[in-house]
C-alpha cells in the first residue's frame, strides 16, 4: 500500500516520450539495480554453486548451529544450511513475485485501457469493482482465500493478481483518459484504425513510463506480501525454502540463535530496498526525460 516513489512527483505524465531511449539512472537507481541483479544471478546459479542441498539436514552441525567454515551463515533448527536456503529462497521469490506482478499488470492495464478509452458503462462498472476490491483489507482477503483454497504458488499468484490489478487499473485508466484526447489518437481514429489498435499501439506505449515505475514498486510490495504470507504460515508449503517461512520457523529461537531469523530478514529487506531504489531511479528518469 505504501507507494513512496509513486507520490514523490506531483505530475504523473511528465516527459515520457522525450529521451526515453537513453538508459541513464540516478545513483539510487543503479544501487537498486545492482542489488536486484546480485540476487537474480545468485538465484540463477543456485544449482551450480557448491552449496549443500537446501533441504538436507547436517545433524552434526546442530551441536553448534552458528556460522562456521562449513556453513558460512550457520544452520537452522533442522540442521539445514542457511546460505543455501537463502539463495534457493531467492529463486522462489524471484519467480513468484514477477509472475504475479506481470499478471496484475496485464489484467489491470487492459481493463484500464478499456475503461479509459470507452468511458461510460464499462468504466463505471470496472471502477466500482476495483473500488470494492481495494476497500477490502488485502491481508484479510489473502488469509480467507489462501486458507480456503490452500496455499500453493499458483494460488498465491492468483490472489496477488486479483488484489494488485485494481491499482494498475486506476493508473492506466487515469492516463488513458488524458491520452485519448491527444491529436495522434484523433489521427488514428480518422485513419479508421480499430479501437484495439489505438489502445495497444497509440495509447499504451505513451503510458509506459509510469507503468514501468509502478511495476517496480509492485515487485517490492509483492515481495513483502509473499514474505508476510510465509511468515503467517499461509505461504508456500514447506519444505520449499521461502524467506518468510524461514523466519516463522526460527523466530521462537531468537533469544538463543538470532542468526537463524536475521539471515532471511536481511535477504528480503535488501531485495525490497533494491526494487524501491530502482523505482526511485526510474521515476526521476521518467520525469526528467
Partner 1 sequence: MARYAVRQLGYMALTLLVVSCAVFVLNEFAPGDVARKLLGAYATQEQVEHLTQQLGLDRPVLVRYVEYMGDVLRGNFGQSLTFKVPVAQILLERLSNTLLLAAIAFAVIVPLAVLFGVLAGMREGSAQDHSILIAANLLSSLPEFATGVFLACIFAVWLGWLPGTSPLSMGGNWSIASQLVMPVLVMALYDMGYLIAMIRVSMIGVMRQPFIRTAILKGMKRRDVIVKHALRNALIAPFTAILLQINYLIAGVVVVETVFAYPGFGRLMLQAAMSKDIALVEAGALVAVLIAMTTQLAGDLGYMLLDPRIRIQK
Residues that bind partner 1 (CB under 8 A): 1-5, 7-10, 28, 131-132, 135-140, 143-145, 147-148, 220, 224, 227-228, 231-234, 244, 247, 251, 254-255, 258, 261-262, 265-266, 268-269, 272-273, 275-277, 280
Closest separation between CB of residue 169 and partner 1, Å? 17
Closest separation between CB of residue 212 and partner 1, Å? 18
Closest separation between CB of residue 224 and partner 1, Å? 5
C-alpha cell at 199: 489502445
Closest separation between CB of residue 275 and partner 1, Å? 8
Residue 155 backbone dihedrals phi, psi, to 5 degrees: -65, -40
Closest separation between CB of residue 97 and partner 1, Å? 13
Q: What is the DSSP letter of 34?
A: H
**Nearer Cβ to partner 1 (185/278):** 278
d(Cα 225, Cα 93) in Å, to the nearest integer? 10
Q: Tell me whether the omega of the peptide bond preceding residue 239 falls within 30 degrees of 0, making it cis.
A: yes
d(Cα 274, Cα 169) in Å, to the nearest integer? 25
**Nearer Cβ to partner 1 (198/277):** 277
d(Cα 257, Cα 66) in Å, to the nearest integer? 7
**Nearer Cβ to partner 1 (144/195):** 144
**Nearer Cβ to partner 1 (117/142):** 142
**Nearer Cβ to partner 1 (87/204):** 87
**Nearer Cβ to partner 1 (59/140):** 140
Length of the chain in terms of residues written: 289
Closest separation between CB of residue 138 and partner 1, Å? 7
End-to-end, the C-alpha distance of the chain in Å comes to: 27
For residue 57, give the 3-state DSSP assignment.
Answer: strand
Buried b (16+ CB within 10 A) or exposed e, 130-139: beebeeeebe
For residue 80, give the 3-state DSSP assignment.
Answer: strand
Amino acid at each position: 500500500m505504501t507507494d513512496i516513489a509513486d507520490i514523490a512527483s506531483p505530475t504523473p505524465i511528465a516527459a515520457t516520450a522525450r529521451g526515453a531511449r537513453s538508459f541513464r539512472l540516478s545513483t539510487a537507481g543503479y544501487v537498486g539495480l545492482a542489488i536486484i541483479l546480485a540476487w537474480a544471478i545468485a538465484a540463477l546459479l543456485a544449482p551450480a554453486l557448491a552449496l549443500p542441498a537446501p533441504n538436507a539436514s547436517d545433524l552434526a552441525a546442530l551441536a553448534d548451529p552458528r556460522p562456521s567454515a562449513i556453513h558460512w551463515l550457520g544452520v537452522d533448527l533442522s540442521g539445514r544450511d542457511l546460505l543455501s536456503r537463502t539463495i534457493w529462497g531467492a529463486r522462489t521469490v524471484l519467480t513468484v513475485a514477477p509472475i504475479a506482478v506481470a499478471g496484475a499488470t496485464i489484467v489491470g492495464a487492459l481493463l484500464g485501457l478499456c475503461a479509459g478509452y470507452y468511458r461510460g458503462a464499462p468504466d463505471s462498472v470496472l471502477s466500482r469493482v476495483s473500488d470494492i476490491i481495494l476497500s477490502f483489507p488485502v491481508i484479510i482477503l489473502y488469509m480467507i482465500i489462501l486458507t480456503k483454497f490452500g496455499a500453493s504458488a499458483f494460488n498465491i499468484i492468483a490472489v496477488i493478481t486479483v488484489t494488485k490489478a485494481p491499482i494498475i487499473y486506476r493508473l492506466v485508466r487515469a492516463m488513458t483518459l488524458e491520452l485519448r484526447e491527444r491529436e495522434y489518437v484523433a489521427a488514428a481514429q480518422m485513419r479508421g484504425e480499430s479501437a484495439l489498435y489505438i489502445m495497444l499501439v497509440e495509447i499504451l506505449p505513451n503510458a509506459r513510463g509510469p507503468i514501468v515505475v509502478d511495476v517496480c514498486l509492485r515487485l517490492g510490495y509483492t515481495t513483502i506480501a509473499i514474505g508476510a504470507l510465509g511468515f503467517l504460515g499461509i505461504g508456500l508449503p514447506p519444505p520449499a525454502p521461502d524467506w518468510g517461512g524461514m523466519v516463522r520457523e526460527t523466530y521462537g529461537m531468537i533469544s538463543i540463535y538470532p542468526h537463524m531469523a536475521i539471515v532471511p530478514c536481511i535477504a528480503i529487506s535488501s531485495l525490497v530496498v533494491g526494487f524501491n531504489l530502482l523505482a526511485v531511479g526510474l521515476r526521476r528518469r521518467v520525469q526528467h526525460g
